[in-house]
Structure 1
Amino acid sequence: MAADHLDNYIDAVSKALALSVEEAWRPAVRANLDVSLRLARLVDEFPLPDETEPASVYTA
C-alpha cells in the first residue's frame, strides 16, 4: 500500500474512532501499519489444503 493510501487510511480510521493522531506520531503509525499489512499478506497468501481443519480450542 502506498504511503498516501496509508495516510488516507490513518485519517479515515482516526476520524471514525474519534482518535487524534498528532503529526509527530504519523511516521510511527504509518510504519507499524505497513509492517502489519505486510505480515497479514504473508498469512493470507499461505496456501492451505482443502482438508485442513482448525486447531482445537482447549480451556482450563
Structure 2
Amino acid sequence: MKVTVDQDRCVGSGQCVLTAEAVFDQRDEDGVVVLLNANPPEHLADDVHQAAAICPAAAITTEP
C-alpha cells in the first residue's frame, strides 16, 4: 500500500492521527498532517483506509 497526503487540503482535525498514529502525525505549529510512513505494513491497512475515509478534507489517498 502507498499512502499520500495533501497538506494543502488538510484542515488539522487530527482524525487520521487518532485512527492510525503509526502512519500519521500533526505539525505542532498548525496541526497539518505529517505522513510518517508512506508504505505502512499490511497489518495497518484497515486503519489507514479508515483514516482516509473519515478525513473531513479528503487529504489522504491510498493505492494498493
User: What is the TM-score when the length of structure 2 is the normalising length?
Assistant: 0.31
Which structure has more relative contact order (CA 8 Å, sep 6+)? It is 2
Determine which structure has the larger strand proportion and give its number. 2
| Bigger radius of gyration among the two | 1
User: What is the TM-score when the length of structure 1 is the normalising length?
Assistant: 0.33
Determine which structure has the larger helix proportion and give its number. 1
